Amino acid sequence: MNFETVIGLEIHAELKSKTKIFCSCSNKFGSEPNANTCPICTGVPGTLPVLNEEVVNLAIKAGTALGCTINKYNKMDRKNYFYPDLTKNYQTSQFDKPICSGGNVEFEHEGKHIKVRLNRIHIEEDAGKLVHVEGEPVSLVDYNRVGVPLAEIVTEPDLRSVDEAVAFMKKLKSILEYGEISDCRMEQGSLRCDANISLRPVGQEEYGTKVELKNINSFRELQKALEKEQRRQMELYTYGEGHKVVQETRRWDAAKGKTISMRSKEQAHDYRYVVEPDLPPIIIYDEQIEAAKNSLPEMPDAKRERFLKAYELTEKEVEILVGDKGLAMFFEKVVGFAVAPKIAANWILGDILRILKDRKIESQDITIDAENFAKLLKVVEEGKISNNVGREVLEEIFDENKDPMKVIEEKGLMQISSTDELEKIVADVIANNPQSVEDYKAGKTQSAGFLMGQVMKLSKGKANPKLAKELVDKKLSEL
Measured in degrees and rounded to the nearest 5, phi and psi for residue 126 equal -80, 165
Rounded to whole angstroms, how far apart are CA atoms 15 and 185?
Answer: 11
What is the sign of the dihedral through the CA atoms of 235, 237, 241 and 243?
Answer: positive
Q: Give min distance, CB of 21 to Zn ion, in A.
A: 9
Q: Give min distance, CB of 143 to Zn ion, in A.
A: 9
Q: Give min distance, CB of 24 to Zn ion, in A.
A: 7
Q: Give min distance, CB of 23 to Zn ion, in A.
A: 3
Q: Give min distance, CB of 36 to Zn ion, in A.
A: 7
CB 259 within 8 A of CB 213: yes
Q: Give min distance, CB of 22 to Zn ion, in A.
A: 7
Helix (H) or strand (E) holding 217: none
Interaction of residue 55 with Zn ion, rule CB under 5 A: no
Interaction of residue 25 with Zn ion, rule CB under 5 A: yes
Interaction of residue 397 with Zn ion, rule CB under 5 A: no
Interaction of residue 66 with Zn ion, rule CB under 5 A: no
Q: Which of 7, 11, 41, 452 binds Zn ion (CB under 5 A)?
A: 41
Among residues 427, 375, 379, which one has the least CA distance to residue 401?
375
Q: Which of 23, 348, 397, 468 binds Zn ion (CB under 5 A)?
A: 23
Residues 136-155 that bind Zn ion (CB under 5 A): none
Nearer to Zn ion, 145 or 192 (CB): 145
CB 341 within 8 A of CB 311: yes
Nearer to Zn ion, 145 or 173 (CB): 145
- Contacts with 357 (C-beta within 8 Å, 6 or more apart), sequence order: none
- Contacts with 442 (C-beta within 8 Å, 6 or more apart), sequence order: none
Applying CB under 5 A, which part among 19-27, 60-68, 389-397, 453-461 lies near Zn ion?
A: 19-27
Measured in degrees and rounded to the nearest 5, phi and psi for residue 117 equal -80, 145
Residue 3 pairs in a beta bridge with: 201
Nearer to Zn ion, 52 or 119 (CB): 52
User: What x-and-dash track marks residues 266-305 binding Zn ion by CB under 5 A?
Assistant: ----------------------------------------
Q: Is 111 helix (H, G, I), strand (E, B) or coil?
A: coil
Helix (H) or strand (E) holding 471: helix 465-478
What is the sign of the dihedral through the CA atoms of 143, 149, 155 and 160?
Answer: negative
**Residue 294, burial from CB neighbour count under 10 angstroms (0-12, 13-18, 19+):** exposed
CB 223 within 8 A of CB 193: no
Nearer to Zn ion, 92 or 155 (CB): 92
Q: Which of 3, 4, 17, 38 binds Zn ion (CB under 5 A)?
A: 38
Site size toward Zn ion, by CB under 5 A = 5
Nearer to Zn ion, 36 or 454 (CB): 36
Q: Give min distance, CB of 20 to Zn ion, in A.
A: 5
Residues 306-335 that bind Zn ion (CB under 5 A): none
Interaction of residue 127 with Zn ion, rule CB under 5 A: no
Question: Site residues (CB under 5 A) for Zn ion?
Answer: 23, 25, 38, 40-41
